[in-house]
Amino acid sequence: MKEAVEERNKFLREEIARLKKEKNALIMAHYYQRDEIQEIADFIGDSLALARQAAQTDADVIVMCGVHFMGETAKILCPDKTVLVPDLAAGCSLADSCPPEEFEEFVKAHPDHTVVSYVNTSAAVKALTDIVVTSGNARQIIDQLPEEEKIIFGPDRNLGEYINSETGRRMLLWKGACHVHDRFSLEKILEMKREHPGAKILVHPECRRPLQLVADKVGSTAALLKFAREDDAKEYIVVTESGILFEMRKKCPGKTLLAAPAEDAECQCNECDFMKLNTLEKVYEALRDGAPEIKVDEEVARKALRPIERMLAMS
Ligand code: 13P
Ligand code: SF4
């Protein structure tokens, strides 16, 4: 059985390499993707790096191994390219927590506010936005806005609270959350810390405020990776989706990296089911068939491009 799986995976890897050349395709993967996808990707990164890479690639086809909003961002930046997401059902609970019609009402109710949206949103929400941010540049971009500027920040309330606390701003927050990061509990992390007193705590800002407060480092996936690589501790408790451990272990040989469990978890990690929908088989099929393809309404894409470009210019 194991041999048959290995044989199939070998075939898939070879076919993917062949098709990639034939179609001038670029495979990009987020750090939360399955290990075997990160392994074959031409580029892996956080949401910001994926957007930047999409904006500058000369490939004809982008296979975005991530979730739907990442594919949409790439398509908005590269309307003439074919953007494939291996499984279009790979959504995002955070993006879903901000329905465009409701967000539009919220924006209309505060006409004197600048609208800053996290990249984990639909294209329709981005079209209502002045500046898009990611967890990798949110603080840096907000710091560039005048202190007196009134800001709506959506949809992640935890990231919004983090920026408000760090900067003393009073951004108006949309109360959305990611079901994966919202599921980490302070109690479980403190229990782990008691068992590993020398371990440093790395926390993604999509986690709740109490976890941010006990963190040695709060940051995007790329920022947590950088910290773990450059810091001199031997052990880390990693409070984000556990897919990141694949790259972190490669980048931090000799260090102990402990996945943090969710509040209600029976296992010792916390995975995003949406991210894990993409498989090697589906990457192969997407390249072979040129589908499933991301499509964005032209008018929505036109409006959503401006705040994404503003983000890229400001970070
Ligand atoms: P970053 O990789 O930008 O930190 O984003 C985390 C995330 O939740 C992506 O879905
Ligand atoms: Fe969305 Fe959370 Fe999954 Fe990231 S980890 S894709 S924010 S549901």
pLDDT in tens, 289-306: 999 999 999 999 999 999
Q: Which long-range contacts (CB under 8 A, 24 or more apart) does 193-199 make?
A: 193/237, 196/235, 196/237, 196/256, 196/258, 198/233, 198/234, 198/235, 199/233, 199/235, 199/236, 199/237, 199/256, 199/258
Helix crossing, 221-230 with 244-251: angle to 10°?
20
17 CA to centre of ligand 1 in angstroms: 27
Q: Which-ligand-closest: CA of 221?
A: 1
Atom of ligand 1 nearest to the CA of 204: 4
Ligand 1 pocket member 46 (CB < 6 A): yes
Query: Whose CA is closest to atom 4 on ligand 1?
Result: 220
* Smallest CA separation from ligand 1 atom 10, residue: 120
Q: Which atom of ligand 1 is nearest to the CA of 136?
A: 3
Distance 126 CA to ligand 1 centre (A): 17
Instruction: Return d(Cα 83, Cα 242) in angstroms, integer.
Output: 26
pLDDT of residue 266: 77
Tell me, what's the pLDDT at 264? 84
Please choose, from the candidates 249, 258, 248, the residue with its C-alpha nearest in 3D space to the C-alpha of residue 188. 258
Closest-CA residue, ligand 2 atom 1, reads 92
Write phi, then psi, for 84 (nearest 5 degrees).
Answer: -110, 140
Q: What is the DSSP string of 56-103?
A: H---SEEEEES-HHHHHHHHHH-TTSEEE-S-TT---HHHHTS-HHHH
Report field, pTM of the whole predicted structure over 0.95: yes
**pLDDT greater than 90 at residue 145:** yes
Whether 120 is in the pocket of ligand 1, judged by its Cβ within 6 Å, is yes
The set of residues, in sequence order, having a beta carbon less than 8 Å from that of 163 and lying 6+ positions away, is 138, 139, 142, 153, 169, 171
Q: Given a cut of 90, is residue 91 above it in pLDDT?
A: yes
Check residue 1 and give its pLDDT. 82
Q: Give the whole-angstrom CA distance, residue 34 versus residue 171.
A: 35
Mean pLDDT of the chain, nearest integer? 97
Cα atoms in the 13 Å half-sphere on the side-chain side of 289: 13
Task: Please work out whether the CB of residue 134 comes within 6 Å of at least one atom of ligand 1.
Answer: yes
31, 33, 93, 221: residue to mutate for ligand 2 pocket, most atoms within 8 A of CB:
93
What are the structure tokens assigned to 167, written together?
Answer: 């900067």
- Asked if the model's pLDDT at residue 267 lies above 90, the reply is no
